[in-house]
Structure 1
Amino acid sequence: MFLRVTSEDERGDDNEGVGRRGGRRRGLLKAAGIVLAGALVLSAAGAGWIYWHLNQNIRSVDINSALGDDRPPKVVSTPSAGASASASATPLPSGALNILVLGSDSRSGDENAALGGGSSAGARSDTAMVFHIDEGRTAATVVSIPRDTLVTRPSCPTSSGGTTSVAYGSMFNSAYSVGGPVCAVKTVESITNVRMDHFIEIDFSGFADLVDALGGVTVTTDEDIDDEDSHLKLEAGEHHLDGAQALALARTRHGIGDGSDLGRIGLQQTLVKALLEQISATDLLTDPAKLYKVADTVTGSLTTDTGLDSLTELMSLGQSLRSLPSDALKTVTMPVVTAASDPNRVVANEPEASELWESLR
């Protein structure tokens, strides 16, 4: 756009001046429209970059290719009855679903180290939960598997092309240590005979950052906590925790109960419910900056199977769970008893454990 300087002779009479002023105003409006359109284009480009960035954040493992067909049968999802009638709309899935969620310190780095995480060479999965979502996706059950459970760890494929040996009487969380997510999934499937439709892993620092991005999380503890290992000291009652404190709570075991992993699992289940309630209560759509911060934090700390490794797939899963209230989430622990071979270890309590897993198939 440019301005043309005219002489007095060229201006003509008043009517012509009015016409030219009207033309000038129309030109300015046109210029403003061009600027606005440019801004919208830049916004769209920004949104595209954000989508690309968040997608790139997500790490994935091809569990299906690694494990092949030697697995429990897969439950076929059915379209939601309330899906849009539009021919172009993709109906949301509404079938039953099982997702293995692991909390680990597998990613090295200063932030993980400061929070008590290990190096990538010494990966551990200190938290293992099977999220079972019922048909219709209006209720769910979270089953925690104690890390100290002695199991028969199956032979698992390795990234180098080999396989690990079958291990009898091995701690459950050793599966991740020797074979990563693939072996963790195979071990869970071998002891439950339940197909894991998806796998999600979140690391130490990512969990802490998520809690901070949400503004903290409020929990109520039934007893005083004083754990030298997790460095957490809380009196019984309600507490609003920041990310580091929430992570310390998830790792606390020696400061409560008998000091076993079962006490820690109870705290983790309380924390999961509180975190889901916090997410539900936070209106992220009215705060784009906070929404982006939460999304960036979540995707940057996740490792998933290839069926959940994009924003589209994660959003579809989230939308399919929009009718799932927090009070419809049931938390239980796999029934166990003290192992005869080691008082510091547990084994599945049968037939109760098998009956629990049967209810999830």
Structure 2
Amino acid sequence: MSAESTPGPGIPGETGTTSPRRSAKGRRRKPPTGRRRALTVTAWTAAGIVVLGGTGAGYLYFKLNNNLKTVDINQALGGDRPAKADNGSENILVLGSDSRSGSNKKLGGGTDDGSARSDTAMIVHVYEGHKKASVISIPRDTLVDRPQCTDTKGTTHPAAGAVMFNEAYSTGGAACTVKTVESLTGLRMDHYLEVDFSGFEKLIDELGGVQVTTTKSIHDPDSHLTLSAGTHTLNGQQALGLVRTRHGVGDGSDLGRIQLQQAFVKALVNQVKHIGLFTNPKKLYDLADTATNAVTADSDLGLVNSLMSFADGLKGISSSNMNMVTMPVQYDPTNPNRVVIVKSKAQLVWDALKNDRPIPASATKGTATGEAKGVVSSS
């Protein structure tokens, strides 16, 4: 299903008021919604596989090319956008999506209504020289002012105030999400990559698992995950459970889940770097086939050779050169199940990216974290 599948009416769990929550400090504890965990993680998986698949999968170009889905962001948004950076850097919006049909339904449960939802988004800023990157996670339940936007079908959606960030996707798909991110940040999104949830487990299994170290035991019956403290090689099902986990760590919030996802992404990058796929052409092709089936790209990246060329430019970025942060937020004082942007600190982030500089530590100091940092690390 493409990014422009029938928008859903909303995301279960967004507006309910009966979700259990901690009374202390107003922190929330919502039950996981099931389908949309790990999607941003899968994006990095797919990007890594496409990088490694560049040469080996070339002879199967046409099959892989037919796997890719595209969305024309530039045509939908027109010229009313921030200017492209002239310092050699690039910004990529990576978004996870989950269809309510097919294999996603099997993985996540729920109704088979054929709609799609969005998970936590990541802005990936690749610095000049393509040796370093900063990754900024945007919590899906951040309250934002969504600008007027036109989707890729030509339908215009009016602006809306104080709505959840992922409402932009359910309203107008990829184009409205990009428009919202550009409005929030003042930064041009040079590319858009969307990854479907259903390929996540298969990708991890085809990689041979991902090794992580847990500093604390994790037990979360909701995500079907039990891990003792120590080093583990997670298969696809376990990896999915890890990045779905909320109640097993931290304060039980989406912010804690993001901390786990960020740690897992670094472990995943390490795994992809050292897996030696070029000695196994069949495995290489299987991974490339799975990854390209899972990806929706903007039109500029909508051919396999374009996507591989783009991804090839990212392969010099190691996990040690990836700075991963969460957009500066605090819990909404009127609704602890939502977060609000700390605008002064967020502006430090956007200014740093605009000028192709590192994000200052002061930008995230004192903001909400979910209290799960350090629970998982790459081994």
* TM-score strictly above 0.5: yes
- What's 1:167 paired with? 160
Alpha-carbon distance between aligned partners in 1 of 2:186 and 2:74, rounded to the nearest angstrom:
16
1:235 and 2:245 are equivalent in the alignment: no
| Correspondence for 2:255 among 262, 276, 283 | 262
Structure-2 separation of matches of 1:248 and 1:156: 35
* Alignment check: 8 A CA contact 2:135 2:323 kept: yes
Separation in 2, partners of 1:173, 1:151: 10
C-alpha distance in 2, partners of 1:134/1:231? 38
Tell me the CA shift for residue 337 of structure 1: 0.8
What does residue 80 of structure 2 align with?
70
Partner of 1:53: 63
1:235 deviates by 2.0
Determine which structure has the larger helix proportion and give its number.
1
Distance in 2 (CA, whole Å) between partners of 1:286 and 1:53 is 21
CA contact (8 A) 2:57 2:284 kept: no
CA–CA separation in structure 2 for the residues paired with 1:117 and 1:298: 23
* Matched residue, 2:25: none
What is the deviation of 1:287? 0.6
Map of 1:294 onto structure 2: 287
Matched, 1:360 2:323: no
Structure 2 match to 1:186: 179
Where does structure 2 lack aligned partners over 5 or more consecutive residues? Answer: 1-55, 355-379
Structure-2 change in CA distance of 1:238 and 1:255 (3 Å): same
Distance 2:264 2:67 in 1: 25
CA contact (8 A) 1:108 1:117 kept: no
Which residue in 2 is equivalent to 1:99? 92
CA contact (8 A) 1:157 1:163 kept: yes
CA spacing shift, 1:287–1:48, aligned 2, 3 Å: closer
Q: What are the superposed Cα offsets for residues 80-127 of structure 1, whole Å, 9 maximum, x if unpaired?
A: xxxxxxxxxxxxxxx211111112213621x21222166564422122
**Which residue matches 2:108?**
116
Q: How does 1:1-361 map to 2 (within 5 A)?
A: 50-76=60-86, 95-106=88-99, 108-109=101-102, 111-116=103-108, 119=112, 121-361=114-354
For residue 178 of structure 1, give the secondary structure of its aligned residue in structure 2: helix
- TM-score, normalising length from structure 1? 0.78
Kept after mapping to 1: 8 A contact 2:213/2:229:
yes
Q: Aligned AA for 2:108?
A: G
Paired AA for residue 53 in structure 1: K
The AA in structure 1 aligned to 2:63 is H
For residues 184 and 117 of structure 1, what CA distance do their matches in structure 2 show?
25
Contact preservation (8 Å) 1:213, 1:297: no
Conserved? CA contact 2:269–2:318, under 8 Å? no
* SS of alignment partner, residue 307 of structure 1: helix
Contact conserved, 1:158 with 1:179, CA < 8 A, in 2?
Answer: yes
CA distance in 1, matches of 2:280, 2:123: 32
TM-score, length-scaled by structure 2: 0.75
> Is the contact made by 2:101 and 2:115 (CA closer than 8 Å) also made in structure 1?
no
Greater Rg, structure 1 or structure 2? 1
Assess if the C-alpha contact under 8 Å between 1:104 and 1:127 holds in 2.
no
Structure 1: tracts of 5 or more residues without a match: 1-45, 78-94
Higher relative contact order (CA 8 A, sep 6+): 2
Q: Which amino acid aligns with 1:252?
A: T
Sort the Cα spacing of 1:236 and 1:323 in 2 relative to 1 into closer, same or farther, 3 A: same
Contact (CA 8 Å) 1:204, 1:247: kept in 2 or not? no
RMSD: 1.9
Per the TM alignment, residue 48 of structure 1 is displaced from its structure 2 partner at its CA by: 7.4
Which residue type is aligned with residue 334 of structure 1? Answer: M
